[in-house]
Chains A and B, each alone.
Chain A
Amino acid sequence: MTVGTTPVAPAAPAPAEHPPPRRQRGRSTRSRYPLWFLLPGGGLLVLLFVVPTATSFYFSLTRWTLFDSTFIGLENYVTFFQDPQLFGSFVHTLVYAVITSVGKVVAGLALAILLNGRIIARGYLRAVVFFPVLVSAVGVGITFKVLFDPFDGLINRALGVVGIDGPGWLTNPDLALASVAMVDIWKGVGVSTLIFMAGLVAIPRDYYESAHIDGATDWQLFRFITLPLVGPATMTVVILNVISGLRSFELIWTMTGGGPGFTSDVLASVIYKKYQAGLYGLSTAGNVVMFVVVAAITIPLYRWFRRREVAQ
């Protein structure tokens, strides 16, 4: 291996000496040989992704147990969309995905600008912002469930000291989903911040300097240089967060279990509950709906962002 450096020089002229046979051999190998390397990965992809996806499409049309299945056509889907709880969870999922994505974009960009600036203890603060990402979602959920307790929780106790009667964060049906979304933003904003920080660093300093010379204000610098040029990073952040928001489960399950009642149920938690209850066909249909929804939202979103990027 170490001698590999010496043959480099003689090897270089070789293609020039015999170009035709090389290219020919190259073409024939290119057509077949490299494909073999795709096989292990491709095989696993087919086995672990394509086959289960295809079978789950079929089983969503059946009422099945672990041993047998009865084909019932689209009945599971009809039940799914007629059941107000299931449909409600669908709405909650969209609301949750939008709240968390917007929250993470706004907070992530603000934090990234702050943490890229010249501030005291920058390295430490960067670590602090990123730290919640590393903690297990279940641990965060259980901790916040305790903190959010309407009577004994630290948050409402603290509010009580300053004379505010804190709400039932997780027990008020109107607030439960928003409270979980807030925790989700806190926990996940580190990744968005990181992506935005990388995006900001990639903007050439020259633009800012020349704009300064032209007498631009800080707001104008942000509005007309930072915001447009950080676009690719924004696209990544939005798509990642929409997908994770649509699939969110751990925080909701540990903090509210979908409750009170069904008021903070999302698709993933309803599907989980239906599996638990042994309603396998119905939950498979729910999974297919989730797959379609995630695809239907993220693919056009991705295209739209790409078009805008090209246009710029």
Chain B
Amino acid sequence: MKSSNAPRRLVALIGSMAAVMCSAACSVGSLGTGDQAAGDTTITYLVFNEPSTVKAANALIAAFEKDNPQIKVKLDTMPTGSDGDNIVKTRLSTGEMSDVFSYNSGSLLQAIRPDEYLVSLSDQSWVKDLDKSYLPAVSTAKGLYGAPTGGSTPGGVVYNKAVYAKLGLKIPRTWDQFRANNLLIKKSGIAIPVEQTFGDAWTAQLVILADFANIAAVAPQWAADYTANKARNVDQPALSSWQHLRQLHDDGLLNKDFASATYDKGVQAIATGKAAHYPMLAGVIDAVRQNHPQYLKDIGMFAMPTATGTESHLTLFLPSGRYIPKTSTGAKLDAAKKFVAFTQTTQGCDLLVQSGSYGPFMNRLCKVPADAPAAIKELQTYVAAGNTGPALESVSPIKGPDLPQLAVEVGSGIRTADSGAKLYDQNVKQQAQQLGLPGW
């Protein structure tokens, strides 16, 4: 008798411990329902903690709360990069996700299993205003889950116009022209030809990622073949991106602190003309506008020069989405949907533009403002000519997690382009197998 009770007692003990833990955790949630009883609904909104993002989110919340006094939106932040990624995955799987949250679209969205965790927004009225090219990035076969958080972000080469004017250089379209420019700048000694900032490993990927529109322009099937395990990085045309990254190092074009410099240093170098080129996202333009406004007029941007064609194409990174987790229910769900819808109105667009987002936009109600910086207008020429293409991560669900580190190794001369591309193919295979894609 006694001994047979033992497991039961143990179970009871564990059960009561679990109950204690749960009651501690659950009480946080019940605070929200307390507010609700008073007639107000409080929802939480989770965004990345970059200052510009937080500022934009606060502006959105203030305007939304003014229109909807019965709803309170509490802003919550998370770090960018893989730490933020972890927070999103953990909170979703433990059911503690904020009522509305921002997260990547495209390949990374697929990794958080939208069908299981997110509320489908296919029936929302704002969906019809979205650009068709954006829909696949926030949808699965079962529905559409996200609303764009802003404009798409072009990736390419940010350049310093003062340096270009001084040396009388022309904007390069092909990689050979770009290389010639770089060697001229190096010879003149007035600026560092190419700024690289491997202290933030993600920045090392741009030479490869921003080249994708060029590759897709000559090989439109590439992304589909890649997803189906029929195209590889070790083969041309994709290999050329890796070779470029290595060549920049071997030509001796980089800043001497490339291994430790961070993104902020890169922005400063390109703004002040210390460096002539910075392979980066158009976010640099807004960073210069905020931190070094006196240099904004010196900043220009062009698409990654192509080695595969004669005309370079601008790679567009589609904007993140705003998503609602399935754990938001009842009044909170209604409030969350209302908030997401508000971000897709003309008023929401205006707030976006005021906080430094310039497009190209994914919602037709949003227009690039007339007073946008010159660099933004320069990029519009690619849009007008139809010389743009989505980034690989928007058209294929696979992106190997080791790309930043591999790009750092190739870009620092630690590893050859071939070896880097080969290892990346292995890494991609692990990712594709984990996602359960056919053909791997």
Contact = CB atoms under 8 A, between A and B. Distances in A.
Interface residues of B, number: 34
Interface in B72-105: 82, 85-86, 89, 93
B371 interface: no
Interface in B404-440: 405-406, 408-409, 412, 414-415, 423, 426, 430-431, 433-434, 436
A279 B430 contact: yes
Contact of B13 (A43, A67, A79, A171): A43
A279 B405 contact: no
A65 interface: yes
Contact of B10 (A43, A170, A171, A282): A43
Contacts of A141: none
Nearest to A276: B82
Nearest to B256: A151
A260 B409 contact: yes
A245 interface: no
A263 interface: yes
B326 to A, nearest CB: 14
Given A151-B260, A171-B260, A263-B414, A276 B401 contact: yes
A66 B93 contact: yes
A40 interface: yes
A84 interface: yes
Interface string A251-278: 0000001111111000000000110111
Nearest to B201: A259
Given A260-B259, A273-B401, A39 B10 contact: yes
A298 interface: no
A214 interface: no
A281 interface: yes
Interface of A: 36, 39-40, 43, 47, 63, 65-67, 70, 79, 82-85, 149-151, 168, 170-173, 257-263, 273-274, 276-282
A281 B198 contact: no
15 contacts: A39-B6, A40-B13, A65-B113, A70-B436, A85-B402, A151-B256, A151-B260, A168-B259, A171-B198, A171-B259, A171-B260, A258-B405, A260-B408, A262-B409, A273-B401
B85 A261 contact: no
Contacts of B436: 63, 70
A151 B412 CA distance: 17
A170 B430 contact: no
Nearest to A265: B405
Contacts of A85: 402, 405, 423
Nearest to A176: B259
Nearest to A75: B433
Contact of B412 (A63, A82, A260, A277): A260
Summarize B's interface: helix, strand, loop or mixed. Answer: helix
B260 A168 contact: yes
B111 interface: yes
A146 to B, nearest CB: 11
Contacts of B10: 39, 43
Given A66-B93, A150-B260, A276 B13 contact: no
Contacts of B423: 84-85
B251 interface: no
B9 to A, nearest CB: 8
Contacts of A257: 201
A145 to B, nearest CB: 9
Contacts of A170: 260
Given A43-B10, A79-B430, A262 B405 contact: yes
Given A150-B257, A257-B201, A277 B14 contact: no
Contacts of A273: 82, 401-402
Contacts of B67: none
Contacts of A150: 257, 259-260
B116 interface: yes
Given A40-B13, A63-B434, 12 more contacts: A39-B10, A43-B10, A67-B116, A150-B257, A171-B198, A259-B405, A260-B198, A262-B405, A274-B401, A276-B82, A277-B431, A279-B401
